[in-house]
A and B are shown apart, each in its own frame.
Chain A
């Protein structure tokens, strides 16, 4: 158990809909990351938050957004869903931010999103 929790575990929805994925980082970790894992794209970094502020963006679509709340939990919002958004979405956390990717990231169990 990494200490990172994600809800829900599974999510099934239809094209065009909007969903919210939730992540609670390990106690004491200030940085939260979101990743997408799909068969065709592999594991891709989407976005990072640090202590409530957006820190860096990866390959995140404009239809996707995230935020980190004062209690440090984070939510990833996916809107206008398409079939190709079906994937595993992972949240990870680390203690701090270095800008060089040196901190160990601890991953949650993931949310499996299926868009029908």
Chain B
């Protein structure tokens, strides 16, 4: 079935550092891809999405470009803040005609002041 692989953390950065969290997917066709963020004790929030090849999703300074050549959807931010500390999940359709999502294992991001 379709699957998502993302780098596992924890990833520890200093405030204002550049962030990249890698995500690759295997799927039939060109599915929509998503980045979700989970803050401590909360549910998942959609951070950004891309619905077709070469589409760029962006939100709150985060960006990810859907690159079909490399089957990647890496998350980037130019200057992270302490408030960005959270767990980030890459996700795509689980396949087989289902709308349910398959998630990567999550990357715990820790930003130090």
Contact surface of A with B, Cβ cutoff 8 Å:
2, 4, 31, 33, 35, 42-48, 55-58, 90, 92, 94, 97-110
User: How many residues on chain B are close to A (CB under 8 Å)?
Assistant: 27
**A46: nearest residue on chain B (CB-CB)?**
B100
Q: Is the CB of A100 within 8 A of B93?
A: yes
Q: Is the interface of A mostly helix, strand, loop or mixed?
A: strand
Task: Judge whether B58 is part of the interface by a CB distance below 8 angstroms.
Answer: no
- What does the 1/0 interface line of B82-110 toward A look like (CB < 8 Å)? 00000001001110111111111110000
Contact surface of B with A, Cβ cutoff 8 Å:
29, 31-32, 34, 36, 42-46, 49, 51, 89, 92-94, 96-106
- Number of interchain pairs (Cβ within 8 Å): 82
Q: How far is the CA of A44 from the CA of B45 in the complex (A)?
A: 16
Which residues in B have their C-beta under 8 angstroms from that of A58? 94, 98, 100
